[in-house]
Amino acid sequence: MIRQKIFFAAFLYGLVFESFGFLGGGFYLLPALVTAAIFNSLVFTWQSVNFIVSWISGVLILSLWSATLNNWNLFSYKFAAHIFIYFFILLVILYALDAKKEQS
Amino acid sequence: MIYLQNKPSRQFRWCAGKPSRCVFIVFWAALVALVFFNKTNALLHSAFVGTAAFLLPDRVALEESKNNLLSMMQIRQVVLDNKKLREALGLSEKHRFIPARVKFDGGYLFLDSILINEGLNAGIKEGDAVVTENNILIGSVSSIGKNWSKVKKTGSLGEKLTLVASDGQAAGVIFEAVGLGGGELIAEFPITLQSPIIKVGDTVRWGQNNDFIAGLVDNIDFNENNSLDRATIISASPLFMAEVMVVSENK
């Protein structure tokens, strides 16, 4: 079953970053939605596995997008840390929403 | 036949497996598409950033309001004196420096982006340079509201910047650098074996206005198989900033 709450949380989260970040054009919003979709569709019983798999896929998507924006130059360590933190916080929110759903 | 009791029934997970699933797909597609329309995007942008600018605490606002009247009197006198001196020296003011306070520094979370408390009302335009009091280039205004401006910092991802070397033998060499995010830039130079064009520690200035320091050369990647040297430049903007100056061109 689709969990609208998860998508809406990812949408709002992406939108906030889209507003405050310097890169527009869905740079933050679309990978957040894709990560939420992956997290939603994964079927592992251990939620932590879903968390890690969707975190890695989100980081990969945004890393590839960043590389294409930068003529395939590697981005700095600071930017890499930024991507890791961005998806970590997103998935913590999604995980919390998911856990709440399972409890209720 | 084996009946699996715990096997989940096959259903279309995206849309609740109901006949109305297309409605959900259309809803999400429309919501995402709406964000990319210019007007909606600008509205959302203004709503988020404007609200944040309004809600963020202003530590010195109270103190300022107390001294406002006294300052007004002093500023008026200083402006008159300045005008007289400029007329006497025959100076024409090409740029206008607009002081602004940093309301929000993105840090690692909102990388390469800061929010300042002056905007269209103060005469700031999109693309104006933002510098510190010590003439260090911080970035340029990327989006603007009535009372706020968002600044894209130097060395943000994909940003192309024209720089000028200002030290040693390389002084005056103009080159282009590309941002790697987080205040790092990369530039390529043709290899000259006798004397390297640029050295580690050299200062580089902004191409559009040589008065402002853009960064320092941090590392040079020398590769014999390559015909180019790759220099990494670190932005000179300080980690913590309270006040900045927006450089606006006078018409």
Chain B residue with CA closest to A88: the answer is B109
Chain A residue with CA closest to B142: the answer is A22
Q: Do B48 and A26 touch (CB under 8 A)?
A: no
Q: Do A15 and B48 touch (CB under 8 A)?
A: yes
What's the mean pLDDT in B198-205? 84
Residues of B in contact with A62 (CB under 8 A): none
Q: Do B109 and A85 touch (CB under 8 A)?
A: yes
Residue B158 lies in a domain: yes
Q: Do B181 and A19 touch (CB under 8 A)?
A: no
> Helices A29-41 and B21-36: crossing angle, nearest 10°?
160
Q: What is the pLDDT of residue A90?
A: 94
B124 and B227, same domain (yes or no): yes
Q: What is the pLDDT of residue B4?
A: 53
- Residue pairs spanning A and B at CB distance below 8 A: 112
The per-residue pLDDT for range A55-86, each reduced to its tens digit, is 999 999 999 999 988 888 888 898 999 999 99
3-state secondary structure of B247: strand
CA atoms of B47 and A79, how far apart (whole Å): 26
H/E stretch holding B177 reads strand B174-181
Positive or negative, the CA dihedral B207, B213, B217, B218 is: negative
B112 and B235, same domain (yes or no): yes
What's the mean pLDDT in A5-22? 88
B76 and B132, same domain (yes or no): no
3-state secondary structure of B230: strand
B244 pLDDT above the threshold of 80: yes
Q: What is the pLDDT of residue B105?
A: 82
B169 and B118, same domain (yes or no): yes
Mutate to test the interface with A, among B112, B157, B178, B221 (most CBs of A within 10 A): B157
Residue B78 lies in a domain: yes
Q: How many domains does chain B have?
A: 2
The ipTM assigned to this model is 0.80
Mutate to test the interface with B, among A6, A22, A72 (most CBs of B within 10 A): A22
Return the structure tokens found at B240.
């913590």
> Helices A4-20 and B38-55: crossing angle, nearest 10°?
80
Residue B40 lies in a domain: yes
B165 pLDDT above the threshold of 70: yes
Residue B3 lies in a domain: no
B208 and B220, same domain (yes or no): yes
B62 and B143, same domain (yes or no): no
B146 and B198, same domain (yes or no): yes
Chain A residue with CA closest to B155: the answer is A76
Q: What is the pLDDT of residue B104?
A: 82
B82 and B100, same domain (yes or no): no
Return the structure tokens found at B189.
């130079």
In this complex, which of A2, A33, A85 lies closest to B14 when CB atoms are compared? A2
Q: Are strands B174-181 and B228-235 parallel, antiparallel or unpaired?
A: unpaired
Q: What is the pLDDT of residue B191?
A: 63
Host domain of residue B217 = 93-250
What is the pTM for the complete model shown? 0.74
Q: What is the pLDDT of residue B3?
A: 54
- Burial degree of B16 (CB within 10 A; 0-12, 13-18, 19+): middle
Pick from B8-12, B76-80, B164-168, B210-214: least confident = B8-12
Q: What is the pLDDT of residue B164?
A: 87
Q: What is the pLDDT of residue B20?
A: 64
Q: Are strands B129-131 and B160-165 parallel, antiparallel or unpaired?
A: unpaired
Among B48, B67, B92, the domain-final residue is B92
Mean pLDDT of chain A: 86
B128 and B183, same domain (yes or no): yes
Return the residue matching tokens 């251990």. A46
Q: How many domains does chain A have?
A: 1
Return the structure tokens found at A86.
């961005």
Among B54, B77, B92, the domain-final residue is B92
Q: Do B182 and A7 touch (CB under 8 A)?
A: no
Q: What is the pLDDT of residue A58?
A: 94
Q: Do B48 and A86 touch (CB under 8 A)?
A: no
> Helices A4-20 and A77-103: crossing angle, nearest 10°?
150
Do residues A54 and A39 make contact, with C-beta atoms less than 8 angstroms apart? Answer: yes
CA atoms of A26 and A104, how far apart (whole Å): 33
CA atoms of B93 and B209, how far apart (whole Å): 15
Bridge partners (DSSP) of residue B114 are B105, B151
Return the structure tokens found at A66.
């960043």
Host domain of residue A28 = 4-103
The per-residue pLDDT for range B47-100, each reduced to its tens digit, is 777 777 777 666 556 566 667 778 777 888 888 888 777 766 655 567 788 888
Q: Do B32 and A26 touch (CB under 8 A)?
A: yes
Residue B205 C-alpha, separation from nearest chain A C-alpha, in angstroms: 21
Question: Any idea what the Cα angle at residue B249 is, between residues B245 and B251, rounded to 5°?
Answer: 145
Q: How confident is the model at residue B251 (pLDDT cuts 50, 70, 90)?
A: low
Do residues A31 and A18 make contact, with C-beta atoms less than 8 angstroms apart? Answer: no
Q: What is the pLDDT of residue B207?
A: 87
B126 and B230, same domain (yes or no): yes
Residue A68 C-alpha, separation from nearest chain B C-alpha, in angstroms: 9
Residue A8 C-alpha, separation from nearest chain B C-alpha, in angstroms: 9
Q: Do A78 and B111 touch (CB under 8 A)?
A: yes
B141 and B211, same domain (yes or no): yes
Among B67, B92, B117, the domain-final residue is B92
Residue B244 lies in a domain: yes
B126 pLDDT above the threshold of 60: yes
A34 pLDDT above the threshold of 80: yes
A13 pLDDT above the threshold of 90: yes
Residue B140 lies in a domain: yes
